[in-house]
Amino acid sequence: MRITRFWAAILLGIPLIYLVVFFVTPLCMVLADSFSNKAGELTFENYATVLGDIYYWEVLGYTLWLALVTCVATLLLGYPLAYYLTLVERRAFVKRLCFILILMPLFTSSIVRSFGWLVLLGREGLINDGLLMLGIIGRPLRLLSTQTAIIVGMIYVMLPFMVLAIASVLQNLNPSLREAARDLGASAFSTFLRVTLPLSVPGIVAGTLIVFTLSISSYVTPRIMSGGRSVVSSMLIYDQFLLVFNPFLGSAIAVVLLVTCFVLIIAYTLILERKPVRS
Amino acid sequence: MPLIAIDRVTKSYGSLKVLKGVSLDVEEGEFVALLGPSGCGKTTLLRAIAGFVDTDGGDIRIAGRSMTGVPPNRRPVNMVFQNYALFPHLSVRDNVAFGPRRSGVASGEVAGIVDGALATVGMSAYADRLPQQLSGGQQQRVALARAIANKPKVLLLDEPLGALDLKLRKRMQMELKHLQQKLGITFLFVTHDQEEALVMADRIVVMHDGAIAQIGSGEDIYARPQSRYVADFIGEANILRCAVAADGSLRLAGEGIDLPYRVAPGTAEPALLVRPEEVRVGAAAQGGVELAATVMDRVFVGNATRIFARLGSGQEIVIHQTGTGEGAGPSEGDAIRIGWAHDAARVLTS
Amino acid sequence: MKLGHSWLLGGTLAASLAATPVLAQDSLVVAAFGGKHGETLQKCVIKPFMDKTGVRVTVDQGVSTVTVSKLKQQRDNPSLDIVWLDGEVSQVAEADGLFADIDPAKVPNVANMIPEGVYKNKDGKITGLSDGYYSVGIVYNKDEIKQAPTSWFDLWKPGFAGNVTWPSMSDGSGPAMLVYVSELLGGGVTNLKPGADKLKQLDVAAFYDSGGNASNILARKEATIGVLDSGAVWALADAHPFEVGFVIPKEGGLASDARLHLIKPSKAAYDFLNYAMTAESQGCIAENYFYGPAVKDVKLSEKARSRLPWGPEGSIKDLRFSDVNAINAHRQEILDTWNRDVLGRR
Amino acid sequence: MGGLFEKLGDRAGILALSLLAWAVLVFLILPLFVVIAISFTTTEFLAFPPVGFTLRWYQRFLADPSYVDSILLSARLAFGSTLIGFLLGVPAALALKRSTMPGINFLASLFLSPLILPAIIIGVGVLQITTALDFPRSFAAMLAGHVVIILPYIVRTTLASLEGFDASLEEAARDLGASGLVTFLHVTLPTIKPGIIAGCLFGLIMSWIDVEVSIFNTVIATSPIPVKVFNYVQYSVDPMIAAVSAGTIYIAFIFVFLLDRLVGLEKVTGRK
């Protein structure tokens, strides 16, 4: 059913007013701040700093790289789990248990989880103890405060989003399509490759988009997991706001991050729209 | 006063004209079929009556009241949807009760109405099931029960039997016809299946390209199609090219046979319609047409044999020969004489 | 839900005070620290003050940087009456004019304070009062490290490689430590390169963002040695995860303090400040969180005396303070140096 | 023969898939398990494996009314912001999906964009705005901020469930005499319910664990529990904070369990 413009205006009006007051206005303030200095004058110096300095580009590049790695890794780990959950596991109670297990980590704040990571990845943590016991390593590896730790932490936080996005599409796939493929002589694997996978592309797109977006703006996880040794864009923003008390430069970094993210997302959706995936 | 009066209704989607000024009256108690191929505008017309499509021009009146601007829920019509549109989260009973509850029927009476409607379609035993637990035919009946529970003045059916298998469809056709007679409600239904229209409807509205091509009883439009389009769409038709002389007299193109009909001089491309079952093989008939033809192919279809033949002019003709057993009659490659009575053929000028 | 101070809008301070004396008298909103330090302030200042005066004090817990951010955002209509801030951060707010001047006549106990504990702006007005000193030194795990370190530069010894923890810029002492190391190597706040180059070579287990973070890293034995302030060190020592050692290096510990600032003057607020400057209150803090009092003539137990930042027999004169004003003037450069030269391409 | 091998291959594939899936599930739950274990240690610091067994950290945290208050505040915030998010987000999603208004795509991306902005900026922005509107640092201000960060989740999942929505269901309801509102409440809403539940669930989660937005807008006396924990661990870390954290895990588990009982979690990902 189409909605008339009148009703669309009514239905959208209040949420829109809300968003304008509590989101767009702060956003505009950020934009205004990014063009001013402490004296309140109009200036481009913040952008000159951010755009003219290779350092900020490196940090932005690292942030995007991290988000990309997180996307790919959560996809590789999340897809099998989503597939198992929706198409392999038939017992209802096991399914429920799985869903609870997937949702639980989301309910726990990153600070709480960080205690767990310290115990798991630490020098005397479970992973090192296990590897030592198995004789795989001779002395404890440094896992915490490394690149690996950041990625593990990011995967951990983002995985549930990816799993749920993919599962919601797989769940609604018509099972007869897979049966038809098997019937036509496709092996289980080629059925997956030629039928299930292409049809689940919308879930993959939704999952990667949300994971990418959340990764780019995430702050606590990279901060905690890197042991203060790596810098991502959101940390620069936080530092400007909270350590240097220079929201002007912080705003400019935020605007650059926001614009980059928007451009990438638009490019991503355009590429997907242009090239429908072959099935 | 007709129950439904459709007056010069137009509708376009962008530059595409879907309804080009359609006018149609439907009387109370009638069973009318809107027949046509997909894209002819029949479903749009039905949805315009139901109120799901806002028309661009013209007017639809139901029981004398203009429906322009009246939302679907305030129209005295109900619809059976092509895919039934049963609410998946509601039981059969609640699906059927949906309408009566909305129209403010006292809650005590709803149960009675629901039971009655389910009984009418023979689904009383399934009242507590969910739609997905029913077969296609059962869902179809529930959709029907849901629509009639609201006691509409007009029941609109959008390809109601389209999703059913052939056998079930045949049975439901008869059931629907009987149901319509029993309830006395006006049925307006959309189909692309001419047989279905012929079996069920009192009157058939043939639609073509956003306009009505012909309205009439099944017999009418079969025997007396007013256009090449209708002739071709309803039943099987041999449509033979004719040449028109200056005085308006016709002769069969390429065959050199004069025909005892006349058309207005200057008529463009008139044609002669001969139904396959009217064509005889063999001896010439008195006061008819007789031609030479070559048999291209023959197919045995149980109660009859179909012969595909080619005339001297190169035009093809289908012959429906009843009462001939297997192996009888001409075979492929035979040169035969065929013919038909003059009054069995019909001239088409449009 | 509705805050009791929205009446401030539109009226002058005095007029509002006159109009709503009851509100002003009866409740205070105070920003304080969290964790053990916060619990100590609750026990030694807030609760006894409430018991004595009947004024209701509501605590707004938070880290100093966030508190300053809130003050900046709500400059014209602050929700806070009094704030506790880390010495490193409070100068930023002072320079920004976020504090109200403290009238010494209304805080008689100022007379009983050591002069260093009374902070004045360039016009000679009092803008802050010290509520206890601490010193940043070297904490180490005595179970693992038998020989006590003596110098800051001992942290670079190969034996400690990968086992050191050091404050990041998010921790209060981070910027000052970077400047301090630079100074020790011949640089300074305007020449951070020597410090940055040195710190880049420091093989840390992790940089910590807060005292709590550092305690946890040490307790889990991720690091066996590191730089930490005395308050957090003694709290850790009392949790006994291992035998905790603490030394003030021979170059000198880096000291700082917790400070109280007035945002919205009122009688209750002055009374609160006055109570916080009693020997009773600061003594309690020294006994519980081992911060050195800024008030004269505080009687302390043996244990508390041995844990004072200036040692059992010393005084404030033995502490080395960094030039907070200079550091704050160069916060951006310090952060940039840290991010680019210390962390960059590690 | 070939068929048999293929069948064995399929079996092996499914087994491998199941093992991988469970490995990932264990990975997801392990850190939480660790936090719970730590909360029972008798030591004064975080020890794993825990030394001995004690409930005293729980006693200490439950005896401090400020923690209970914080949890209650967080719960009120989470449910309140989710309710508002629902009331704003679902109609908005409906209009975004169904309207042909010009610029509707731009509006759709506007509704999803708070996800990209680092939350601290929203936190500071909400403080500025609410100060201007004269309700700074109040429950309402936090609520306002939380709604901003959870709205994208609700709008997104509702949009997704409308994607597969069979429009003839609504037409059928209208046809049977239901007004637009009744149709929405009795047909549209129940059908897209799983999507909405999923969105609201994400909303609840994001509000329940938020630090960045709350920290600038906390009510003076009480902070939401994640902010309280954040402020505590800045200064000291002890098993009590593990007990508090474990407490939030238990609450989340009870909530997820109840939700599963009430609506069936497997439906959350399905549209049917």
Residues B8 and B137 placed together within one structural domain of the fold: yes
Minimal-distance CA residue of chain A relative to C339 = A231
Provide the pLDDT for residue D272. Answer: 38
**Digit-coded pLDDT (tens) for C50-84:** 999 999 998 888 888 888 888 888 888 888 999 99
When CB atoms are compared, the residue of D25, D89, D107 closest to A98 is D25
* pLDDT class of A279 with cuts at 50, 70, 90: very low
Residue C5 predicted with pLDDT over 60: no
Interface of chain C toward chain D, CB-CB under 8 angstroms: 1-3, 6, 9, 29, 33-38, 58-63, 66, 69-70, 73-74, 76-77, 79-80, 209-213, 215-216, 219-220, 232, 235-236, 238-241
Integer angstrom CA distances of residue B196 from B35, B215, B218, B279, B341: 9, 16, 11, 25, 29
Residues B189 and B282 placed together within one structural domain of the fold: no
Query: Which chains border B (3 or more CB–CB pairs < 8 Å)?
Result: D
Averaged pLDDT for residues A8-19: 86
**Is D172's CB within 8 Å of B52's CB?**
no
Alpha helices in chain C (DSSP H): 13-19, 21-26, 35-41, 47-53, 64-73, 87-95, 174-184, 193-200, 211-219, 230-239, 267-276, 279-289, 302-306, 324-329, 331-337
When CB atoms are compared, the residue of D30, D245, D272 closest to A120 is D30
* Cα four-point dihedral sign B283, B288, B292, B294: negative
**Is C9's CB within 8 Å of D134's CB?**
yes
Interface test with C, best of A37, A117, A242 (most C CBs within 10 A): A242
Provide the pLDDT for residue B326. Answer: 55
- When the pLDDT of each residue in chain C is averaged and rounded to a whole number, the result is 87
Averaged pLDDT for residues C279-299: 93
Q: Does A145 touch chain D (CB under 8 A)?
A: no
Q: Does D235 touch chain C (CB under 8 A)?
A: yes
Domains and CATH numbers, chain A: 54-273 (1.10.3720.10)
Provide the pLDDT for residue C2. Answer: 32
Residues B268 and B322 placed together within one structural domain of the fold: yes
Which residues of chain B neighbour D166 with C-beta distances below 8 Å?
A: 83, 85
Domains and CATH numbers, chain D: 64-268 (1.10.3720.10)
Provide the 8-state DSSP code for C117.
G
Q: How far is A27 from chain D (nearest CA, A)?
A: 7
Q: Does A128 touch chain D (CB under 8 A)?
A: no
When CB atoms are compared, the residue of D33, D98, D128 closest to A1 is D98
Q: How many domains, in total, are found in chain B?
A: 2
**Is A244's CB within 8 Å of C332's CB?**
yes
Which residues of chain A neighbour C96 with C-beta distances below 8 Å?
A: 245
Q: Does D272 touch chain B (CB under 8 A)?
A: yes
C-beta neighbour count of C253 within 10 angstroms: 24
**Is C2's CB within 8 Å of D138's CB?**
yes
When CB atoms are compared, the residue of C69, C220, C335 closest to A122 is C220
Residues B261 and B289 placed together within one structural domain of the fold: yes
When CB atoms are compared, the residue of A55, A124, A142 closest to C221 is A124
Which of B229, B245, B278 represents a domain boundary (last residue)? Answer: B229
**Is D218's CB within 8 Å of C62's CB?**
yes
Of A118-127, C5-14, C103-112, C327-336, the range with the lowest mean pLDDT is C5-14
Residue C337 predicted with pLDDT over 80: yes
Q: Does A127 touch chain C (CB under 8 A)?
A: no
Integer angstrom CA distances of residue B73 from B88, B101, B151, D181, D182: 20, 12, 13, 11, 10
Residues B259 and B284 placed together within one structural domain of the fold: yes
With a CB cutoff of 8 Å and minimum separation 6, the contacts of C148 are C140, C245, C247
Residues B174 and B131 placed together within one structural domain of the fold: yes
**Digit-coded pLDDT (tens) for A73-109:** 999 999 999 999 888 888 888 888 888 888 888 888 7
- H or E stretch covering B337: strand B335-341
Residues B220 and B287 placed together within one structural domain of the fold: no
Beta-bridge partner residues of C128: C119
Domains and CATH numbers, chain C: 15-133+257-311 (3.40.190.10), 134-254+324-342 (3.40.190.10)
Minimal-distance CA residue of chain D relative to C218 = D45
Which of B206, B229, B252 represents a domain boundary (last residue)? Answer: B229
CA distance C141 to C149: 11
With a CB cutoff of 8 Å and minimum separation 6, the contacts of D185 are none
Question: Domain of B288?
Answer: 236-348
The amino acid at B249: S
Which residues of chain C neighbour D130 with C-beta distances below 8 Å?
A: none
When CB atoms are compared, the residue of B79, B86, B89 closest to D175 is B79
Kindly tell me whether chain D and chain B come into contact, counting contact as 3+ Cβ pairs under 8 Å: yes
Q: Does D254 touch chain C (CB under 8 A)?
A: no
Residues B133 and B35 placed together within one structural domain of the fold: yes
Which residues of chain D neighbour C235 with C-beta distances below 8 Å?
A: 236
Q: Does D125 touch chain A (CB under 8 A)?
A: yes
**Is A239's CB within 8 Å of C335's CB?**
yes
Provide the pLDDT for residue C285. Answer: 95
Buried b (16+ CB within 10 A) or exposed e, A30-45: beebbbbeeeeeeeee
ipTM above 0.95, yes or no: no
The CATH number assigned to the domain holding B265 equals 2.40.50.140
Q: Name the pTM for this structure.
A: 0.78
C-beta neighbour count of D12 within 10 angstroms: 10
Which residues of chain D neighbour C222 with C-beta distances below 8 Å?
A: none
Averaged pLDDT for residues A172-200: 75
Residue C20 predicted with pLDDT over 60: no
**Digit-coded pLDDT (tens) for C164-197:** 999 999 888 899 999 999 999 999 999 999 999 9
Residue ranges for chain D with pLDDT beneath 50: 1-2, 271-272
Provide the pLDDT for residue A1. Answer: 52
* pLDDT class of C7 with cuts at 50, 70, 90: very low
Residues B44 and B177 placed together within one structural domain of the fold: yes
The CATH number assigned to the domain holding B146 equals 3.40.50.300
* CA neighbours closer than 13 Å in the CB half-sphere of residue B43: 11
With a CB cutoff of 8 Å and minimum separation 6, the contacts of C288 are C40, C43, C44
Which of B188, B208, B229 represents a domain boundary (last residue)? Answer: B229
Residue by residue, pLDDT tens for chain B (350 residues) are: 889 999 999 999 888 899 999 999 999 999 999 999 888 889 999 999 988 888 898 999 998 899 888 888 888 888 888 888 888 888 999 999 988 888 778 888 889 999 999 998 889 999 999 888 898 889 989 999 998 888 888 999 998 888 788 888 888 888 888 989 888 899 999 999 888 898 899 999 999 999 999 999 988 898 889 888 999 888 888 988 888 877 778 888 777 777 888 787 777 788 889 998 888 887 655 678 888 889 998 888 877 888 899 988 888 899 888 765 555 677 788 888 888 888 888 888 87
Residues B63 and B176 placed together within one structural domain of the fold: yes
C-beta neighbour count of C142 within 10 angstroms: 13
Residues B272 and B225 placed together within one structural domain of the fold: no
List the end-to-end C-alpha distance of chain D, in Å, as a whole number. 40
Residues B245 and B171 placed together within one structural domain of the fold: no
CA distance D58 to D69: 15
Provide the pLDDT for residue C3. Answer: 32
What are the structure tokens assigned to A6, written together? Answer: 């009148």
When CB atoms are compared, the residue of C62, C211, C239 closest to D231 is C62
The amino acid at C226: G
* pLDDT class of C17 with cuts at 50, 70, 90: very low
Kindly tell me whether chain D and chain A come into contact, counting contact as 3+ Cβ pairs under 8 Å: yes
Backbone angles phi, psi at C5, to 5 degrees: -120, 15
